[in-house]
Amino acid sequence: MEVNKIIFATGNEGKMKEIREIMHDISHKIKSLKEEGLEVHIEENGTTFEENAIIKAKTICEMTGEIVMADDSGLEVDYMDKQPGVYSARYLGEDTPYSIKNAAIIKNLENAKGDERSARFVCVIATAFPDGRILTSRGTIEGLIDYQERGENGFGYDPIFYVPEYSLTSAQLEPDVKNRISHRGKALRLMKEKLKNEGIDC
């Protein structure tokens, strides 16, 4: 199947930048919602990353008749019973600055030491096809919640997500290093494989 365009159903610029970097080798155009002139608020009322990714991809697929991908992702902090999880964007309010959200998580963990600070980023990618088919892929990266914010790269919770293998937060990693090891990099590369297996030449 020849695919000319894939719409990526996200309004998050930080995600979109990484998606473009990770998908740079596909031969077909990836268009953001903004580029397609689509301004839609999608109710993410699922309880899992899979459900929410499918809701986003399906909604835009049904609106446009195009192949649509979506990313639902978040930070699971074990000491906080895996919160904020699917509520990561909405944690303490959608428009609350990440400096405040990050400080709140650090405060919640003030009595947590060593491995008690374990956390992971999770990313689920869903692809919805006009014929009703849905594919999903999942990627994770394990880390620890740092004691302070460090680094300027990335977005969201990156400044407090410490990656032990590199002794740096994901906001201190170079973008190509983050993309190579991240939840989003893993999920998107797996999705590329799944598309190939479906006979989609993208």
Give the total of residues touching ligand ITT (CB under 6 A): 21
- Is residue 12 involved in binding ligand ITT (CB under 6 A)? yes
Neighbours of 129 (CB within 10 A): 18
- Is residue 146 involved in binding ligand ITT (CB under 6 A)? no
- Identify which of residues 72 and 129 has a Cβ nearer to ligand ITT in the complex: 72
- Identify which of residues 135 and 182 has a Cβ nearer to ligand ITT in the complex: 182
Cis peptide before 84 (omega within 30 of 0): yes
Q: How far apart are CA 128 and CA 14, in angstroms?
A: 22
Does the CA dihedral 117-186-49-152 come out positive or negative? positive
Shortest Å, Cβ 199 to ligand ITT: 27
- Is residue 11 involved in binding ligand ITT (CB under 6 A)? yes
Considering only 30, 89, 106, 190, the residue that binds ligand ITT (CB under 6 A) is 89
- Identify which of residues 44 and 78 has a Cβ nearer to ligand ITT in the complex: 44
Shortest Å, Cβ 1 to ligand ITT: 25
Shortest Å, Cβ 114 to ligand ITT: 23
Which residues inside 103-132 make contact with ligand ITT, applying CB under 6 A? Answer: 121
Q: How far apart are CA 49 and CA 53, in angstroms?
A: 6
Binding mask 38-57 for ligand ITT (x = CB under 6 A): ------x-----------x-
Q: How far apart are CA 66 and CA 75, in angstroms?
A: 30
CA 54 to chain centre: 13
Q: Are 171 and 154 in contact (CB under 8 A)?
A: yes
Residues annotated as catalytic are 72
Binding mask 153-192 for ligand ITT (x = CB under 6 A): -xxxxx-----------------------x-x--------
Q: Are 74 and 87 in contact (CB under 8 A)?
A: yes
Q: Are 35 and 20 in contact (CB under 8 A)?
A: no
